[in-house]
Amino acid sequence: MGPLYGIRVIELGAIGPAPFCCMLLADMGAEVIRIDRLEPADIGSPGDPKFDLLNRGKRSVAVDLKSPEGVKLVFRLLEQADVLVEGFRPGVTERLGIGPSHCKAVNPRLVYGRMTGWGQDGPLAQAAGHDINYIALAGALGAIGSADRPAVPLNLVGDYGGGAMFLALGILAAVLESRSSGQGQVVDTAMVDGVSVLMTSLYATLARGAWDDGREKNMLDGGAPFYNIYETKDGKHVAIGSIESRFFRELLKRTDVDSATFGEQHDRAYWAVQRERLIEVFRTKTRDEWCALMEGSDVCFAPILSPLEARHHPHLQSRGSVIEIDGIAQPAPAPRFSRTRSKIGGAPALPGEHTEQVLQQFGLSKDEIGKLRAAGTVA
C-alpha cells in the first residue's frame, strides 16, 4: 500500500497535466476514479485506451455531466471523496453545476484541484493554449535553444513540470491542512505560475546582474563550453556538465587537452575558443568510445540517448526505472519510498469500464444503476 492509501480522488476526464497529476497520486496509493465522457471527445487521445498510460492505476466511470442526473451522481461520489481534480477552462465546471461552491455544499472537506494554463483569472484566463504558449509567456522558452532560435522542449516544462507537479503538491498540502481544519479549499494551479516558480534561480541570477539576456550566452543555456552538448564521430551526441573546477580539470584530462593553453574556466572571453576546441576533440571518437572513457567518472558525462535507447541503459535497467505491463514499456513510479512502496495499480481502463463496480461501492443498487443506464446518464 502506497503512502497515499486511503485518499480518494475523483478526476474529471481531461488531457495532459490533470490526468498526469492523478496518475502520480494513483501510483502512490490513492484511489483515483476518473469520470469519463459517454462519447469520445477530440482531446488529443492516443487512440486505443490501453496506450493512455496517464490513466494507469485508475478506475473509470462514464457519466453524462451535462444532465442533472449525471451531476447528482457525481455529488454522490464526492460525498465520500477527499479530492476533486478538473482541468477545464475557467467557468466550465461552474456552468455544469459542479463548481467549487456546489461541491463545498456537498462535502465541506473536499479539496478542489484546478488545472489551467493561464489561471482562473487575468486577461488571458479564457484564451486557448498549450504548453508551448504558457512557457513562452513565462520566459522559459526564450531561454531554451540555440542562439538564433528557441527550441521546443517537448511538453515537459509547462504541462508536467509547471502544471501537474505543482497541482499534486498543492493537493497534498491542502489535504494535510483539511485534516486539521476540517475544511477543504480550491487549489488554483496555473502552468504559467508553476513555470515562473521553476525559474526562481534564474530570477536570482538576473537580480545580481549575472545573466545575459539571450540564448547561448550563459553557463546553463549552452553558452559555457563545460556545460554543453557535443557531436561525436558517429553523428551522435554526448552531454557534458563539468561546472565545478575539479570536474572541469577531469574533463580536460580525459579529453587530453592541455589546460595551460585552454584559459580560465569561467572567463567568458575564452568560451568560444574552448568550445571550438572541444567540438574538434569530441568528433575524434564515437559516442560509445567516449562512454567507455568517461561514463561513471567525475567529468559529469552522459550519452544523449533516444527514448528507445534510454530504457535499455544498464543504469535504468538496474534500478528498474522502466518496467513493462501487458507488453507496454512505461516508467516505474517515482519517487521511491522505503516502507509504503508505490506501485502501478493496473493498466489504463476503458472509459466506463468500472461504472457498475464503482457505483455499487458507493451504495447504488443494481436497479438504480439500470435506470441511470436506461436514461443515458451512465455507460
Catalogue the active-site residues. 130, 159
Q: Judge whether 21 and 168 are in contact, CB under 8 Å.
A: yes
Rounded to whole angstroms, the Cα distance separating 86 from 15 reads 10
What cell was used for 96?
455544469
- Asked if residue 155 lies in contact with residue 232, where contact means CB atoms within 8 angstroms, the answer is no
Amino acid at 324: E
346 Cβ contact list (under 8 Å, min separation 6): 56, 57
- In this structure, which amino acid lies at residue 258? D
* Dist CA 260 CA 155 (whole Å): 43
- Cα distances from 75 to residues 106, 172, 285, 378, in angstroms, run 7, 22, 63, 14
* Inter-CA distances, 164 with 158, 159, 190, 192, Å: 9, 6, 9, 12
Which residues neighbour 248 within 8 Å (Cβ) at sequence distance 6 or greater?
A: 226, 242, 265
> Do residues 91 and 63 lie in contact, with contact meaning Cβ atoms separated by under 8 Å?
no
Q: How far is CA 135 from the centre of its chain?
A: 14
Main-chain phi, psi angles of 356, to 5 degrees: -65, -45
Find out whether the peptide bond into 335 is cis, omega within 30 degrees of 0.
Answer: yes
- CA 242 – CA 222 distance, rounded (Å): 13
CA atoms within 13 A on the CB side of 284: 10
Pairing of strands 31-36, 59-62: parallel
